[in-house]
Structure 1
């Protein structure tokens, strides 16, 4: 018996020696990195095993990869804002999506590839192919700039559509996505309140004094942006979440739950208010109006109108609340022709119309906005700020591209409405109705701000659009999940 124990221990030691060698080598490498790079080296030593674990997990499970992509889409702006290093954090998203696609191939035998025979895949795929053809646009002065904008225009949406359609996603994952969205957004709202009422960090002050002050410090009032790219995107996100929680408030049965969602709606609404993003008001107007029409419930439509119309009339025809700057900013959204910045946008669009008259396919992807200013600053398309998602698409993909993109959005909404109207499960119908209402609200707001192509707004639009257009895959008997 003693001999067997000795032999067994010897066998285990023989099998475990590679791990001892790897552990010792890892410790030595970490020691060198910390000695050479200091705190950066320590960060690398901590991040490396986490990264290896995440890569392994993603390759083993595309569903796990999709959840990592979701979390990182909220984290990417925080890293870019607060880490004392300059790194292409946005490109990590491309790496994640590529890794998940590789995971799909590794796990291909147990996945149902026939799920790609879906209208939304063909809609997004057609738009992506048009973007690929834009590589041949002779007007584009610098072809590599195409990559920097095609990611937000179509490539990420196309990749996510493949992943979501093929991956076996559970009903519980829908709740996980929703809760992730709500929780990250609460943190974002709290940080915006801190900016507004307690002050800014040193890095935020430096950004405000360099690039952000022109748009985020108006008439002595700060437009809070939390840790998002700018106040416009933050305001859009807050308005979208306030809309979702407001719908929850009206749809839930238990009053304690309804009051909880009402509290969240107020937090998000004030987050929208301190952002000073006037156009985000249309997320409420378009989103909630669409939701009422989707429900086809005349009682709720009447209740909704009885609440919305007096508020709009108050904003339009009174000065109530003007002593509060946030309320004043919201009111000006309903009077665009009295807004100098809106009139400047109309002048810019008139100039663009003259330039693009004979360019039905646009000036080429990557010629406007940030990529245009970086790679072809002398080009006409880079001289005029688009100030709108659709204007940016118009400049870079032409009137043909804008028509194709809008047709895709309308078709996605149409497919979603059809799917939702044929659901049996009232809980699923409610969740998908909120998703599509927020999608419509953000799409309408895209006329005034380029929020549809920014993290995490873009990620949520991709995921929710794939959810409500394929919601029949989760439909069950009309019972609420535990």
Structure 2
């Protein structure tokens, strides 16, 4: 008998029978990809790793939460590079997977009583308000509500309790800061590559699908790095940059301060090349919050002088106008800017439209999901341009005041916790987290930032760390009596 791959010349038996299932699997795999696209092929290819990861998260739920934070940075570029893949749903999957891992964890390690606090209950209140919006008299699309409510409330109500339950170790705040700073630094470097060498094929395809009109201005690319768009890239870079600068003036070794400062400057450059004018207010808001939280009049006055001088240079001089990024940043301080005037006009139109709608037009009626699922609603034709305006349009003036009041309460309570913190290192870290969150809140007036990743995840986890921090703080000195009614501090 002639020898071949399956038979030997001296035995009429199959030798490499294991090749048969491999060939059949390869054929089936190729057929599935041909019929359903590359995305499903990639999913099948990584399926064994997914099973292993799920098992690992159920054994150590903290891994799921840290993976969620990393994924929030990388998710947009994964969606751009894998056609047909709904990468955004991976965020939901990671959060729910981690939630189930916590609920079915094999021990009583997690103390659920810790989530019984005002931070969690504000999230619950907003979630309930969002659910009640299903009964909005304008009868918006349920599908539009489903997609919009994920960023509007779902991530909020899941991220905060999971962070409180899982990040119970003091060192977790160091891990969190390291992750977001490293990913932001890499994002800035990738942005420089994008500016110098141009976007890759997948990114060019994404630009040609529509975003090109807002990301290529006068022939110059507004860098978006591996983020969802230039607006989110710029705002996130501003947030992490101000956090790094605050950490650089903290009580650390000289080497660590230099590392934080270099990271902050590189990330700030990433903010500049994004061409996002509103990102400037992330620096301003974060810097001002830092000065307030420092509780030192000299630092406050010095910071106000330096910050005011920098803004004055931008507004009243032409210094740096040879640089396109500086020129665009300067327009953010021009009240006559054409783009700003268009936004004011849209806000007037919206104000007139919802004048008789105190509860708004419904969740999912503005922005991307409004144009897809609520085309029949006039409000879907009004560009929100701002998270504040979007909440105002969807939830009405009643909902907006509740949401804004919640944000101000959380920021105020955060300041109170930080002021009482005695550990100098912990206090510096909390100040950086709170200042970064304040910067994002201010940026959200000009763009939809707080309802987009990774800023949304970073802000909510930051709030959770601030609420957790009192248990890690240096204990207060105890009062002891030594003699006849006299008291001294031990």
TM-score normalised by length of structure 1: 0.89
Change (3 A) 1:307 1:367: same
User: What residue number does 1:48 align with?
Assistant: 47
How do 1:115-134 residues align onto structure 2 when only pairs under 5 Å count? 115-134=114-133
- 2:440 maps to 1:442: yes
> In the alignment, is the contact (CA less than 8 A) between 1:63 and 1:169 conserved in 2?
no
* Partner Cα separation in structure 2 for residue 436 and residue 190 of structure 1: 25
Change (3 A) 1:41 1:399: closer
* Partner Cα separation in structure 1 for residue 402 and residue 284 of structure 2: 25
In the TM superposition, residue 109 of structure 1 has moved relative to its aligned partner by 3.1
Task: Return the match for 2:96 from 98, 103, 115.
Answer: 98
Secondary structure class of the residue paired with 2:450:
helix
Q: For residues 241-269 of structure 1, what are the alpha-carbon distances to aligned partners after superposition, in whole Å with 9 as ceiling and x for unaligned?
A: 11011112222443333222222122111
* Partner Cα separation in structure 2 for residue 381 and residue 178 of structure 1: 40
* Partner Cα separation in structure 1 for residue 122 and residue 458 of structure 2: 18
In the TM superposition, residue 120 of structure 1 has moved relative to its aligned partner by 0.4
How do 1:248-259 residues align onto structure 2 when only pairs under 5 Å count? 248-259=247-258
User: What residue number does 2:371 align with?
Assistant: 373
Moved more, 250-259 or 142-151: 250-259
Moved more, 42-51 or 395-404: 42-51
Change (3 A) 1:137 1:260: same
> In the alignment, is the contact (CA less than 8 A) between 1:33 and 1:42 conserved in 2?
no
> In the alignment, is the contact (CA less than 8 A) between 1:387 and 1:449 conserved in 2?
yes
How do 1:38-117 residues align onto structure 2 when only pairs under 5 Å count? 43-44=42-43, 46-83=45-82, 85-107=83-105, 109-117=108-116
User: What residue number does 1:177 align with?
Assistant: 176
* Partner Cα separation in structure 1 for residue 400 and residue 76 of structure 2: 28
* Partner Cα separation in structure 2 for residue 40 and residue 364 of structure 1: 33
In the TM superposition, residue 162 of structure 1 has moved relative to its aligned partner by 2.1
> In the alignment, is the contact (CA less than 8 A) between 2:250 and 2:425 conserved in 1?
no
Q: CA RMSD in A?
A: 2.1
Change (3 A) 1:141 1:34: closer
User: What residue number does 1:461 align with?
Assistant: 459
* Partner Cα separation in structure 2 for residue 76 and residue 168 of structure 1: 22
In the TM superposition, residue 303 of structure 1 has moved relative to its aligned partner by 2.9
* Partner Cα separation in structure 1 for residue 414 and residue 23 of structure 2: 56
User: What residue number does 2:357 align with?
Assistant: 359
User: What residue number does 1:36 align with?
Assistant: 31
In the TM superposition, residue 300 of structure 1 has moved relative to its aligned partner by 1.9
How do 1:240-319 residues align onto structure 2 when only pairs under 5 Å count? 240-319=239-318
* Partner Cα separation in structure 2 for residue 424 and residue 33 of structure 1: 63
> In the alignment, is the contact (CA less than 8 A) between 1:390 and 1:447 conserved in 2?
yes
* Partner Cα separation in structure 1 for residue 24 and residue 288 of structure 2: 59
In the TM superposition, residue 208 of structure 1 has moved relative to its aligned partner by 2.4
* Partner Cα separation in structure 2 for residue 105 and residue 30 of structure 1: 37
Change (3 A) 1:24 1:66: farther
Moved more, 363-372 or 59-68: 59-68
How do 1:387-466 residues align onto structure 2 when only pairs under 5 Å count? 387-466=385-464
User: What residue number does 1:17 align with?
Assistant: none
How do 1:16-31 residues align onto structure 2 when only pairs under 5 Å count? 30-31=25-26
Change (3 A) 1:197 1:109: same
User: What residue number does 1:156 align with?
Assistant: 155
In the TM superposition, residue 65 of structure 1 has moved relative to its aligned partner by 1.6
Q: For residues 107-128 of structure 1, what are the alpha-carbon distances to aligned partners after superposition, in whole Å with 9 as ceiling and x for unaligned?
A: 2733211112211011111111
> In the alignment, is the contact (CA less than 8 A) between 1:65 and 1:96 conserved in 2?
yes
* Partner Cα separation in structure 2 for residue 139 and residue 338 of structure 1: 35
User: What residue number does 1:10 align with?
Assistant: none
TM-score normalised by length of structure 2: 0.88
* Partner Cα separation in structure 2 for residue 151 and residue 376 of structure 1: 17
> In the alignment, is the contact (CA less than 8 A) between 1:419 and 1:470 conserved in 2?
no
Q: For residues 272-311 of structure 1, what are the alpha-carbon distances to aligned partners after superposition, in whole Å with 9 as ceiling and x for unaligned?
A: 1111101111111111111111110123223322322221
Structure having the larger proportion of residues in helix? 1
- 2:207 maps to 1:212: no
* Partner Cα separation in structure 1 for residue 204 and residue 26 of structure 2: 36
Q: For residues 287-346 of structure 1, what are the alpha-carbon distances to aligned partners after superposition, in whole Å with 9 as ceiling and x for unaligned?
A: 1111111110123223322322221111111111111111111111111x2210110110
> In the alignment, is the contact (CA less than 8 A) between 1:34 and 1:41 conserved in 2?
no
* Partner Cα separation in structure 2 for residue 48 and residue 174 of structure 1: 32
* Partner Cα separation in structure 2 for residue 407 and residue 318 of structure 1: 37
* Partner Cα separation in structure 2 for residue 40 and residue 380 of structure 1: 35
* Partner Cα separation in structure 2 for residue 460 and residue 73 of structure 1: 9
